[in-house]
Amino acid sequence: MPDILPEEALRHAVDLLVRLVEAAGVIIIFAGAAVAFVRFVVAAVRRSADDGFISVRLFLGRFLALGLEFQLAGDVLRTAIAPSFTQIGQLAAIAAIRTALNFFLSREIEQEGRSVEQARRRRTPDAADG
């Protein structure tokens, strides 16, 4: 039975996809970092309360989490075609590290988001009170 797509051609196609997915992750992280830096400078110039810096961290954290997901997707794609046991082991280690980073980053984003919301509620009087 003839090969529909030779393994070497498939490897080249997957390699291209891996590079595109990883580049997307890098672009996402870079864009988030660049915008977060600008927001940080604006908050510093305005001498905002801690909320300004916390919102910058939350903003950047979301971009980091998304970028890490793209990087992990690239790693999974890389081992999609006839992986060796070494590649599977490396993927498992990388996936574990990135998943742990993403878990703790997401948890911190959630906690800081709640604290920002609580601070807003304390500063903004409820319409029913007035």
50-101: pLDDT as tens digits: 667 888 888 898 899 899 889 889 988 888 777 788 888 888 888 888 888 8
Mention every residue, 6+ apart, whose C-beta is less than 8 A from residue 94: 72, 75
State both tokens at 93: 């280690």
**What is the pLDDT, as a whole number, of residue 3?**
66
Q: What burial letters (b/e) apply to 3-14, b meaning 16+ CB within 10 Å?
A: eeeeeeeeeeee
Model's pTM, two decimal places? 0.73
**What is the pLDDT, as a whole number, of residue 75?**
85
Domain-wise residue ranges, the chain:
7-123
Number of Cβ within a 10 Å radius of residue 96: 10
